[in-house]
Amino acid sequence: MSDSFETILSKVNYGRYIDEIQSELSKAIAELGPGRTPKEIEGIQERLQAVMRRQSLQLAKEVGFRGNHVMVFMTATSIIATAWVSFALRRETLDLTKSPEDRLGTVEMLGALDLALRRVIEAAGDYAENYEEPSAGGSGTGKRSGERQ
């Protein structure tokens, strides 16, 4: 990648990924139900997970992600999921059938999303600095150094 990570991601057409998720979500709801039962919820989630797997490969190719396949998959999936959540929250704020209180709560959530994600990234980075890798036999703790079990 010759351009910066930020520059490359700014060129992605997220609408294409969002539209595909929205389309699959509509189809899943039409075929499986609105998600009122555990079976409907699981079916919808499985369909969305399949779309996200396919999209993560597309995005990785589009932006030129390389390296560890797990890192590439998780990065691409988190970018697509963040785009869809941002879209969905914004759509909720524009839905005039929702109460003003509900819309205000969604506006606050959308406004705090970037800060919340930044804090998640920082907390995970802090955790990584002190992480003890589990041994091959699975006897590692996977906890921070000095933490009690």
Full 3-state SS string of 44-76: HHHHHHHHHHHHHHHHHHHHCCCCCHHHHHHHH
- 51-67 pLDDT, tens per residue? 999 999 999 999 999 89
The total of other beta-carbon atoms located within 10 Å of residue 22's CB is 15
- 82-93 pLDDT, tens per residue? 999 999 999 999
List the chain pLDDT tens, one digit each, 149 residues: 568 889 999 999 999 999 999 999 999 999 999 999 999 999 999 999 999 999 999 999 999 998 999 999 999 999 999 999 999 999 999 999 999 999 999 999 999 999 999 999 999 999 999 898 876 666 555 565 555 44
pLDDT above 90 covers what percent of the chain? 81
Tell me what pLDDT residue 132 has. 87
What pTM does this model have?
A: 0.82
Half-sphere exposure of 83 (CA within 13 A, CB side): 23
User: Is the CB of residue 56 less than 8 Å from the CB of residue 80?
Assistant: yes
Q: How far apart are the C-alpha atoms of 85 and 63, rounded to whole Å?
A: 21
* Mean pLDDT of the chain, nearest integer: 90
Residue listed under structure tokens 């970037």: 114
Q: How far apart are the C-alpha atoms of 73 and 65, rounded to whole Å?
A: 9
